């Protein structure tokens, strides 16, 4: 591995450790980080389906199913059977769920805050563009 790549590898390792460490943190606003991520996904992908969520999070349908059961019981999301294809249930967040997303100081927001505070406008734009470029390449060919 060349020197530049190695340097990137190391900072990326730190980033991954940091992200993973934050998944184990306790709940904020009554929901865990995992629940929060699910709610936010549904918020940003209104009317999405369970299958779609399972794929996005790379977890099995039963895992998704159980999480939804919990989130529905908590009144954070709702399901509605599609009239066109009754196998499908469309998802949306409730007012309570939306409130949590809108008012949570979540982990990503904290990182974005730090990034925007500590980098110049040009640097932040550059970081976003570069990260995005790498993510695109990974996404298209699959890691």
Partner DNA sequence: GCTAATAGTTAACAAAGTTAACTATTAAGA
Partner DNA sequence: TCTTAATAGTTAACTTTGTTAACTATTAGC
Cβ atoms of 13 and 24 closer than 8 Å: no
By rule CB under 8 A, what string of x and - marks binding of each residue 31-70 to a copy of itself? ------x--x---------------xxxx-----------
- Nearer CB in complex with DNA: 62/95: 62
User: Of a copy of itself, DNA, none, which one does residue 50 interact with (CB within 5 to 8 Å by kind)?
Assistant: DNA
Please give the size of the binding site for a copy of itself, defined by CB under 8 A. Answer: 60
Q: How far is the CB of 48 from a copy of itself (least distance, A)?
A: 14
What ranges in 24-57 are assigned the alpha helix state H?
33-44, 50-57
d(CA 88, CA 98): 23
Q: How far is the CB of 125 from DNA (least distance, A)?
A: 33
| H or E, element range at 77 | strand 77-81
d(CA 40, CA 101): 6
In the three-class reduction of DSSP (H, G, I as helix; E, B as strand; rest coil), residue 93 is classed as: strand
Q: Which residues bind DNA (CB under 7 A)?
A: 24, 32, 34-35, 49-52, 54, 57-70, 79, 84-89
């Amino acid at each position: 591995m060349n020197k530049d790549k190695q340097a990137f590898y190391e900072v990326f390792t730190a980033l991954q450790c940091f992200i993973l460490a934050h998944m184990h943190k306790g709940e904020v606003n009554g929901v865990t980080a995992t629940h929060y991520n699910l709610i936010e996904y549904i918020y940003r992908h209104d009317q999405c389906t369970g299958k779609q969520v399972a794929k996005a999070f790379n977890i099995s349908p039963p895992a998704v199913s159980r999480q939804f059961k919990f989130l529905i019981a908590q009144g954070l999301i709702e399901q509605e059977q599609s009239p066109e294809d009754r196998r499908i249930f469309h998802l949306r967040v409730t007012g309570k769920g939306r409130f949590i997303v809108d008012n949570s100081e979540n982990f990503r927001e904290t990182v974005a805050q730090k990034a925007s505070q500590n980098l110049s406008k040009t640097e932040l734009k550059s970081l976003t563009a570069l990260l995005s470029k790498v993510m695109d390449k990974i996404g298209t060919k699959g890691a």
